[in-house]
Amino acid sequence: MIRNSIIILVCFGVISACHSKIQKPDVPTPVPTGISEGVIADAVKAASGGASGNNSAIIEKGVQHAASLWRDADGTPEDFVKFCGENFIADPAKKEASFKRFSEYLESLLGHFNKLSLDLQENVTLQKSELLPIDPMFAGYNPGAHLINDLYENKIAFIVALNFPYYSTEEKNISGPNWTALDWGYARLGDVFKARVPSELVQRESVVSAATNAYVADYNIYMGHLLNEDNQRLFPEDMILLSHWNLRDEIKANYANKEKGFEKQAMIYQVMERIVDQSIPKSVINSGKVDWKPISNQVLVSGNAADSPAETDGRYQQILNTFHVYQVLDPYYPEMNTAIQRAFSVDMQIPLPEVQKLFNEFLSSSQVQQVAAIVKKRLGRELSPWDIWYDGFKARSSISEESLNAITQKKYPNPAALEADLGNLLLKLGFSKEKAAFIASRVSVDPARGSGHAWGASMKSEKAHLRTRIPAKGMNYKGYNIAIHEFGHNVEQTISLNEVPNYMINGVPNTAFTEALAFVFQERDLFLLNMKDPNPEKETLKTLDIFWSLYEIMGVSLVDMKMWQWLYSNPNSTATELKNAVLEISREVWNTYYAPVFGIKDQTILGIYSHMVNSPMYLPNYAFGHLIHFQLEEHFKTHEFAPEVERIFSLGQLTPNEWMHQAVGEPLSNEAILKAADVAIQRMK
């Protein structure tokens, strides 16, 4: 999972009030502008100097955009007309020089604020020492909360809006194929000032975001204290797994365990269900002081049954807190006045209806039943609900977790050992000695409290950060696998910051594209351990593995998307009502796309992902990441890996469609994976 703060609007961290209920704040809606159509016409004339020419379209667009952001406190209508006349840059050379200067200033501002956020959150995001009460308070503080509004107040934002206006995703898709890298830079500079949100609301969003991240980061299950109904402990005493990531990965790991694997998977699945429906006892969350029987939901202290209230609605109150903040932000985005529209049409740059159509097409495909039949045959039993995470197509599925742990623990006893080896990993992947050394020098490895994440730099003088869990015994295989995924993010972050044509297009179109490279790296985790897969069917199995991963994550994503649609249809709901809605939505999506395949109805497990709590509407990025991952892997079959990674990820922030065309020569779609699945299915037969 990637975390970055290119525009410094959200600060991730930890805050102590994790379970507190935050009511919808009573904040006034945006002050309407006093700029009339007549004033806009006068401003256009003033900016053009009374002459028509090649600049007429950009002048009108710039004036319109600046007017939409102007408030009465910024000046009178006459002031607005005068401002436009004095600040429109007609000379192309001067405009380009101004763009470069804006880029330099923003890189410094955004880069340093990003570093400040990292510094303030270090004690709560990393395994350093015991948390002090003051740590969460600093972690919840967003040092850049006032930046954007300050730039409006000193009129810098209006100069940008006037000369580098905002283009919608639809406009970018139409014009983008004919744009140069400089044109794209102009458009991305305009994106910085597409809306005007009061700084106090930016800060409030940061506080709520910090609280949800704290809630998720501390949601550990002490597996050594789980008992089956015969009072047997199935897991090592010191095993502590974070929900949902580590729980899911432990299910995957136990496909290689022929003796106790099925029973362990069933127990983990029961734990997950109790998290989703909130029947999980509070006393077993992030604590090893009691024993717990997940099947009967009985808590024991020293072998005796004990009362322990359920968490009830804590998970859903976190989601509701975020929704209430978004409700207050909505009016400040008149063209995208819901968090749903902003998440898809602005951030992902793919409108929600297109996403839903793509997911429905894949989940309803005939190939799903056929791949499921292969899974069932390989398992030698009927499918169980947790087999949405079937991991048997991967080479490591036949290798015991213990043997993999022994290798990774010896190789990476601490973060420094992994950091020292990053250059060697890149050399194995085909990067030149110079490029491997450069990228490795731009990445810092840190021990994470949570599951791990990648946090990119926002200026070239800073490093990207790779966070993963490293226990005292050394990095286990789960941590290593996550670390290689996060390293893929870091490689993208480093290339797309340092090798793009200009700073304003640094990055990728949306987080799905960085997830794609993370998946590409993760796919090579055993190769990087010098473990070769001699299986002649490995390419076929890789296709099936990506296909099955897509089948799982698209359903999970639909639950997240439908939950947010429900919230906007029921804006005054309680946490209990939200919980019941999510349970119903989970059952609905399961019954539509999974029950016909699994032969089991009314499962709620699709609601387990922690992203639903602390990363609203992020999950669809994983689905798109898998699709892009597959198309990239197909491309790498006929192109040299490392040079193409460098070329592709230096394209920068284009729209998804334009990026895919320039990267691999075809649009983003289900077509490639469905066709490849047909071939793989026939080969397996």
Distance CA 431, CA 656 (A): 26
Q: Single out the residue of 218, 256, 257, 8 nearest to residue 120, CA to CA.
A: 8
Measured N-to-C along each axis, helices 77-87 and 56-69 cross at an angle, to the nearest 10 degrees, of 140
Angle 212-216-217 from CA coordinates, rounded to 5°: 115
Query: What is the rounded CA–CA span in Å between residue 102 and residue 105?
Result: 5
Residues in Cβ contact with 370 at an 8 Å cutoff, skipping those fewer than 6 apart:
677, 681
**Range name among 315-319, 332-336, 570-574, 618-622 with the lowest pLDDT average:** 332-336
Whole-angstrom Cα distance, residue 148 to residue 132?
31
CA distances from residue 33 to 29, 44, 70, 75, 236 in whole angstroms, order as listed: 12, 17, 6, 10, 63
CA distances from 638 to 336, 584, 633, 634, 644 (A): 41, 46, 9, 8, 10
403 token code pair: 């043997």
Whether the Cβ atoms of residue 391 and residue 273 lie closer than 8 Å to each other = no
Cis previous bond, 465, omega within 30: no
How high is the pLDDT of residue 333? 87
- B/e letters for 103-119, b = 16+ CB within 10 Å, e = fewer, are beebbebbbbbbbbbbe
Q: How confident is the model at residue 451 (pLDDT cuts 50, 70, 90)?
A: low
pLDDT at 256: 87
Beta bridge partners of 242: 220
Bridge partners of 445, per DSSP, are 466
**What's the number of CA atoms in the CB half-sphere (13 Å) around residue 618?**
14
Percent of the chain with pLDDT over 90: 78
Answer whether 575's CB lies under 8 Å from 320's CB: yes
* pLDDT mean across residues, the chain: 91
DSSP secondary structure letters along 334-363: TTS-SHHHIIIIIIISS-HHHHHHHHHHHH
Alpha-carbon gap, residue 269 to 247, rounded angstroms: 8
Rounded to 5 degrees, what are φ and ψ at 441? -70, -15
Q: Closest by alpha carbon to 684, among 542, 491, 487?
A: 542
| CB 606, CB 304: distance < 8 Å | no
Could you read off the pLDDT of 1-47 as tens digits, one per residue?
A: 665 433 333 333 333 333 455 555 555 555 556 689 999 999 999 99
Tokens at residue 648, please? 């592709």
**What CA–CA distance (Å, rounded) separates 652 from 140?**
30
Across 252-394, the runs of DSSP E, i.e. the strands, are: 291-293, 298-301, 304-306
Contacts for 200 with CB less than 8 Å, ≥ 6 apart: 27, 145
CA separation for the pair 59, 43 (Å, rounded): 9
Closest to 397 in 3D by CA, of 545, 176, 191: 545
- Amino acid identity, residue 355? V
At residue 57's C-alpha, the angle toward residues 55 and 58, to 5°, is 65
Helix (H) or strand (E) holding 47: helix 37-48
Place of tokens 């880069």: 111
pLDDT band at 49 (very low <50, low <70, confident <90, very high): confident
What pLDDT, on the 0 to 100 scale, is given for residue 17? 35
List of residues 6+ apart from 328 with CB closer than 8 A: 24, 25, 27, 201, 204
Structure tokens at 262: 């099925």
Length of the chain: 685
- Give yes or no for a contact between 299 and 306, defined as CB atoms under 8 angstroms apart: yes
Helix (H, G, I), strand (E, B) or coil at 103: helix
CA atoms within 13 A on the CB side of 451: 26
pLDDT at position 152 over 80:
yes
The number of angstroms, rounded, from the C-alpha of 425 to the middle of its chain's C-alpha atoms is 24
* Cα 447–chain centre separation: 20
Domain residue spans of the chain: 2-196, 219-277+279-312, 339-393+533-617+655-684, 400-505+516-528
Tokens representing 109 are 């501002």
Q: What is the pLDDT of residue 461?
A: 95
Residue 227's nearest CA partner among 184, 288, 275, 286 is: 288
Task: Please report the pLDDT score of residue 12 as a whole number.
Answer: 30
Q: Which residues pair with 222 in a beta bridge?
A: 240
Specify whether the CB–CB gap between 466 and 487 falls below 8 A.
yes
pLDDT, residue 13, reads: 32
pLDDT value at position 414? Answer: 93
Specify whether the CB–CB gap between 382 and 376 falls below 8 A: yes
Instruction: Please state which of the ranges 128-132, 175-179, 310-314, 601-605 shows the lowest mean pLDDT.
Output: 128-132
CA–CA separation, 199 vs 150, rounded Å? 9
- Report pLDDT digits (tens) over 461-497: 999 999 988 888 999 998 899 899 999 999 999 999 9
With cut-offs at 50, 70 and 90, classify the pLDDT of residue 126.
confident
Tokens 């256009």 belong to which residue? 44
The pLDDT value recorded for residue 448 is 84
The string of DSSP letters for 387-448 reads: GGG--TTSGGGGS-HHHHHHHHHHH-SSHHHHHHHHHHHHHHTT--HHHHHHHHHTEEEEEB
Residues in contact with 70: Cβ distance below 8 Å, sequence separation at least 6, in sequence order: 33, 34, 35, 80, 158
> How close are the terminal C-alpha atoms of the chain, in Å?
36
The closest of 584, 579, 586 to 560, measured between CA atoms, is 586
Ranked by mean pLDDT, the top range of 6-15, 137-146, 517-526 is 517-526
Give the model's confidence band at 502: pLDDT under 50 very low, under 70 low, under 90 confident, else very high. Answer: very high
Helix and strand element counts for the chain (H, E):
30, 9
